[in-house]
Amino acid sequence: MKKLYPLVFSLFLICSASAQSPTFVFSSSDCNFVRDFTLSDEGFSSPSIYSNDNDVSFFWTSSVGALIESSGLVNRVGSVISPVFLNTMSGQTVVGFTYNVPAGTEYRIRVISGLIGTPLEILATTANGPVWTALPSTSGSLCLLLVDADLAVGQGLRYEFSFRASASGNMLFDNFALNSAQAPLPVTFRGFVASKINDNSIKLLWDVGDEINVNNYVVERSSNGRDFTGVGSVSATGKSTYSLIDNSVADQKQTLYYRVKNVDIDGQSKYTPVIRVSAQKASNQIQLYPVPATDYVYVQHDKTPANVSISLFNIDGRLVKKIQAMPNTYQTRINIGELQSGVYIVKYDDGNGDIQSAKLIKP
């Protein structure tokens, strides 16, 4: 396990041949949000495996879409630990988060080996010098580059975030981020689509990539888009595409919502975005979810050929955003956080003359 040295001993840490490598911390601009906690805790837990029994905990709060510590105590330490992510960088990792905390709150990040059967070893830490680092403000985002020779490509990593407060007020943790090249474990969902077979059956189809340590997939259904129950499961067998038919629909007369949860062999999980199946007869027209949307919107479409473009136009007809959809997917996520409030037209062009459109509202 990586030893934690106070600042006065940091020179010994760097020079000692028997000690593990120190961690050097730099600011970065290469963060890519991969967990936004909008629908669930995304497999994050609190307190950490390294926390004390009397430490306070963060809890996922659906009304906020974030992890919140609200113990009411003044002097306390709270921590959050992530599920396993695959490291794709040699000798470094980029990690970030959004926070809202009382004045004077400090933080610490530790990177821990995470795969089953390996020791829970601290591989990198911001606590090589002072154990705690002051947050620059009471709210904002941090993106940090941690350089440490103990980090290698292919490692399963867990990220622990600890916060030490000395004033009253809730602490918020949101928008966990990694370098854009890092891939989350245990699976990457590439696309998810549903179609009606008849009034009593709906077929779900999802594409996956980087399927590592996955045990099975659970299909969940909801009538309101918030409260989900499982309707079936499929074992993970290393395929790129999976499907399940939901035959438990009782004469579908209402709109239904579906999502797929993968379950890792160590119990960790992640979700696909939620998709909607209309009570009306399905069409080939693109659909948007959620509507209205504030930070991002998903465009549900037929399986994409090459050269598909998706464009956003404002109410005056001016092009404000254009992206290329990935081939062979059924859903495309568009970041609209930087757009002003208003009404937009989303146009889907398959490159072969088929153009579909839908209205997007950003409040």
Over 90: is that where the pLDDT of 14 sits? no
Which residue has better confidence, 267 or 271? 271
Query: Could you tell me if 192 and 180 lie in one domain?
Result: no
The CA-atom distances, in angstroms, between 163 and each of 107, 143, 245, 304 are 4, 16, 45, 44
Give the pLDDT of residue 43: 82
Domain extent for 67: 7-184
Examine the fold and report which residue of 151, 184, 217 is the final residue of a domain before the chain moves on.
Answer: 184
Query: Could you tell me if 63 and 124 lie in one domain?
Result: yes
Give the pLDDT of residue 133: 95
Over 90: is that where the pLDDT of 169 sits? yes
Over 90: is that where the pLDDT of 166 sits? yes
CATH number, domain containing residue 223: 2.60.40.2060
Give the pLDDT of residue 110: 94
Query: Could you tell me if 238 and 257 lie in one domain?
Result: yes
Q: Of all helices (H) and strands (E), which one includes residue 14?
A: helix 10-15
Over 70: is that where the pLDDT of 161 sits? yes
Percent of the chain at pLDDT above 90? Answer: 31
Give the pLDDT of residue 237: 83
CATH number, domain containing residue 341: 2.60.40.1220
Examine the fold and report which residue of 237, 255, 277 is the final residue of a domain before the chain moves on.
Answer: 277
The verdict on residue 1 lying in a domain is no
Query: Could you tell me if 291 and 355 lie in one domain?
Result: yes
Residue 176: pLDDT band (50, 70, 90) is very high
Convert the pLDDT of each residue in 120-149 to its tens digit. Answer: 788 999 998 789 999 999 999 999 999 999
Q: How many CA atoms lie within 13 A of 207 on its CB side?
A: 13
Number of separate domains in the chain = 3
Q: Of all helices (H) and strands (E), which one includes residue 11?
A: helix 10-15
**DSSP string across 248-261:** ---S--S-EEEEEE
Convert the pLDDT of each residue in 290-300 to its tens digit. Answer: 767 788 788 87
Convert the pLDDT of each residue in 71-82 to its tens digit. Answer: 999 999 999 998
Structure tokens at 291: 């509507």
Give the pLDDT of residue 180: 58
Query: Mean pLDDT, the chain, as a whole number?
Result: 81
Give the pLDDT of residue 284: 56
For the chain, first and last CA: distance in Å?
Answer: 49
Give the pLDDT of residue 77: 94
Query: Could you tell me if 32 and 159 lie in one domain?
Result: yes
Query: Could you tell me if 234 and 293 lie in one domain?
Result: no
Q: Return d(Cα 276, Cα 258) in angstroms, integer.
A: 6
Query: Could you tell me if 177 and 260 lie in one domain?
Result: no
Over 60: is that where the pLDDT of 185 sits? no
Over 60: is that where the pLDDT of 95 sits? yes
Beta bridge partners of 359: 345
Give the pLDDT of residue 213: 73
The verdict on residue 2 lying in a domain is no
The verdict on residue 204 lying in a domain is yes
Query: Could you tell me if 17 and 100 lie in one domain?
Result: yes
Q: Return d(Cα 244, Cα 203) in angstroms, integer.
A: 6
Query: Could you tell me if 200 and 332 lie in one domain?
Result: no
CATH number, domain containing residue 158: 2.60.120.260
The verdict on residue 327 lying in a domain is yes
Examine the fold and report which residue of 215, 249, 277 is the final residue of a domain before the chain moves on.
Answer: 277
Instruction: Say if residues 187 and 273 touch (Cβ distance below 8 Å).
Output: no
Query: Could you tell me if 19 and 82 lie in one domain?
Result: yes
Convert the pLDDT of each residue in 34-91 to its tens digit. Answer: 788 887 888 888 887 666 766 899 999 988 889 999 999 999 999 999 888 878 788 9
The verdict on residue 282 lying in a domain is no
Over 50: is that where the pLDDT of 12 sits? no
Among 298, 308, 342, smallest CA distance to 328 is for 308
Instruction: Say if residues 265 and 116 touch (Cβ distance below 8 Å).
Output: yes
Give the pLDDT of residue 343: 87
Q: Return d(Cα 48, Cα 266) in angstroms, integer.
A: 16
Query: Could you tell me if 215 and 74 lie in one domain?
Result: no
Over 50: is that where the pLDDT of 118 sits? no
The verdict on residue 207 lying in a domain is yes
Query: Could you tell me if 270 and 295 lie in one domain?
Result: no
Convert the pLDDT of each residue in 303-342 to its tens digit. Answer: 788 889 999 998 888 899 999 988 877 778 898 989 998 8
Give the pLDDT of residue 266: 65
The verdict on residue 335 lying in a domain is yes
